[in-house]
Chains A and B, each alone.
Chain A
Amino acid sequence: MYRSIQKNIFEQAWEKIIQFDWFFFSLICILVCIGLLTIHTVDNSNSNYLFKHFVRISISITLFLFVAFINIKFWYRFAYVFYIGIVGLLIFVEFFGFSALGAKRWINLYFFNIQPSELMKIGVILALARYYQYIKLEEIDNFSKLIIPVFIIFIPFFLVSSQPDLGTGLFILIVCLGMLWLAGLSLKIFITGFFSLLILMPFSIAFLKPYQKERILTFLNPENDLLGSGYHIVQSKIAIGSGGFWGKGFKQGTQSNLEFLPEKHTDFIFTVFSEQFGFFGSVLLILLFFAIILKILNISLKSQNNFSRLVCFGVGFNIFVYLAVNLGMVTGLLPVVGVPLPIISYGGTAMLTTMFALGLVMSAKIHKDHNL
């Protein structure tokens, strides 16, 4: 009787492998391959992006598998520790990080430059999910129960914004708001918050750095400054538009081949893809992303506990925000903020973070029947 309950390690592992969601994993792999393919088209002999990207993908997928097979209980227990650890890294970055482009964002780990603000996106998801696990629905709107989430949200927000990296700061804020909404905070609080934000808006503009103001102005009228910041948006629109329905063909993208596209391997990777594969390919790619998001929704609905559920929703929302901001930017719907396309874009920390987050989702799927 006892033996049958206390399963040995092989039986445990086998159970996990059976629970492993191969459909979800293959969706991720397809996107990873599309990323590799697109990076390949913008690669040249000097940059060697493809190889570096491949190495990062290998590390990220290993991380994904590692996280996936760790029991979700572990993440529940260490959620606050994880969060506080990253807050510590953010403070560390403030003093010891090295700066680039006027912002202190990176920690040099010798083999790898890590961006704690990226990891924070997971940190807040875990911390908020942990916090709302046992808050009763009746108490959720109580003022006393709002104090801790406010701290969880605003400590990283201010730390990241003061780097200065307002984009990522706002990103974290949006993900947190999504979490609060999912946790069941009543609409009244959101509406009050929204209006107080609207009132605060004019004052906050005074705190913006000149380059941030310029970006907003450029977004409002990109054609004004063709060779300055507006250049990015204009060239991106030209590349996407000239792709047409079927695209210019693999490796035939003139805008990217001839260097008219800026940041083509990172933030504007979608443009590169869209120029080559047209409307058809672009819609297919977006649908793949939505398939992943829907799969995450599906996993979260099947979860047995609210922590898993909230984590999964949070991760899904996080990926959606990435996708939305990136696509909005490259198609000229939103201002230029440096947000990569998840899974596809070249870039270390974002890739790791995304795969880590997806690993959490997979973990929730594998351990859905486990109690916390």
Chain B
Amino acid sequence: MMAETKKQKYDMQQMIGTALRVGVTTACLIAFVSGIYYLICHGAEPVPDYTVFKKEPQSYTTLGGILTGVFHFQAKNWIQLGVLVLMLTPIVRILLSLIDFAKERDWLYVIITAIVFLVILSNSIGGA
């Protein structure tokens, strides 16, 4: 029984560790490739004025907007997709923990993990 839980704990650590690494690597690869694509398309243009903040257009700030641009092969949207994958990485980590705590029948931690997930979810829906 003891060995069983120990092994489970070890498996969970490996899984979470791998998920984090895969997420960050994927996000960086997407950002890198689309970054080069962005430079090929826009590299010779003068730098946009970043000294003054103006709200980014919808195409970079909403999920729908980003994905539409991705389908139209807009370089900046592809970069933003990389950012999205990066943001999803910790969220996936939370979900993996949730599943694992449920498997262990550790209901206290299922609730705790669910609270954290719900805070982030409600923030992404109603946060703007």
Chain B binds chain A: no
Residues in chain A within 8 A of chain B (CB atoms): none
